[in-house]
Chain A
Amino acid sequence: DSGVTQTPKHLITATGQRVTLRCSPRSGDLSVYWYQQSLDQGLQFLIQYYNGEERAKGNILERFSAQQFPDLHSELNLSSLELGDSALYFCASSPDIRTPNTGELFFGEGSRLTVL
């Protein structure tokens, strides 16, 4: 158990809908990262937050947005969903603003989104 909690574990919805994925980082970790993993693909970095502020953006679509709240939990909002958005969405956390010197991120178990 990494200590990172993601909900929901599974989500099935229809095209055009909007969903919110939630992540609670490890206790004490200030940085939260969101990743998308499509079938048999690598991890695509979406966005990073540190202590409530956006710090880095990756390949995140304009239909997607995220935020980190004062209690450090984070939410990823996906709107106007398309079939291609079906994927595993992972949240990861680390203690500080920079991926720590050991290169270690702690990943949650992911939220599997299916868009029909």
Chain B
Amino acid sequence: GQSLEQPSEVTAVEGAIVQINCTYQTSGFYGLSWYQQHDGGAPTFLSYNALDGLEETGRFSSFLSRSDSYGYLLLQELQMKDSASYFCAVGTNAGNNRKLIWGLGTSLAVNP
């Protein structure tokens, strides 16, 4: 079967660094995406990893290890506005089409 696991909640303080892990089990894997969703809002794309290694975009970085079926999102210099839910999504090939399998999301609370 196909599954994703990520922690349900993470708490951190302003200025700190937090890592949100995502482990997956799937066939036809082609990439791992991360999305941010503020309460009730539209999910917005943060990053994408197709190959092993670290991708850095400003304060956010994302890592992938295909051999370990594992990735993480690293948020540095946390700000209050980073309080949101973070979803990992695994891209899988299904015949002639690709689809995204979504995790249940990690609720990040950034405290003063």
Within 8 A of A (CB), among B73-105: 87, 89, 91, 94, 96-100, 102-105
* B102-A103 in contact (CB<8A): no
Q: Which chain B positions have C-beta within 8 A of A2?
A: 42, 44
Provide the bound-state CA to CA distance between A43 and B96, in Å: 23
Q: Which chain A positions have C-beta within 8 A of B42?
A: 2, 4, 90, 107-110
User: Does B48 sit within 8 A of A, measured CB to CB?
Assistant: yes
Q: Which chain B positions have C-beta within 8 A of A105?
A: 43, 45, 100
* B31-A103 in contact (CB<8A): yes
- Chain A, Cβ-Cβ closest to B93: A98
Q: Which chain B positions have C-beta within 8 A of A45?
A: 99-100, 102
Q: How many residues of A contact B (CB 8 A)?
A: 28
Decide yes or no: A104 and B102 within 8 Å by CB, A90-B43, A98-B97 being known contacts.
no
Decide yes or no: A104 and B97 within 8 Å by CB, A43-B102, A88-B40 being known contacts.
no
Which residues on A are within 8 Å of B, measured CB to CB?
2, 4, 41-45, 48, 55-56, 58, 88, 90, 92, 97-99, 101-110, 112
Which residues on B are within 8 Å of A, measured CB to CB?
31-33, 40-45, 48, 50, 87, 89, 91, 94, 96-100, 102-105
26 A-B contacts (beta carbon < 8 Å): A4-B42, A42-B87, A42-B102, A43-B43, A44-B102, A45-B100, A97-B96, A97-B97, A98-B97, A99-B91, A99-B99, A99-B100, A101-B31, A101-B50, A103-B33, A103-B48, A103-B89, A103-B100, A104-B33, A104-B48, A105-B43, A105-B100, A109-B41, A109-B42, A110-B40, A112-B40
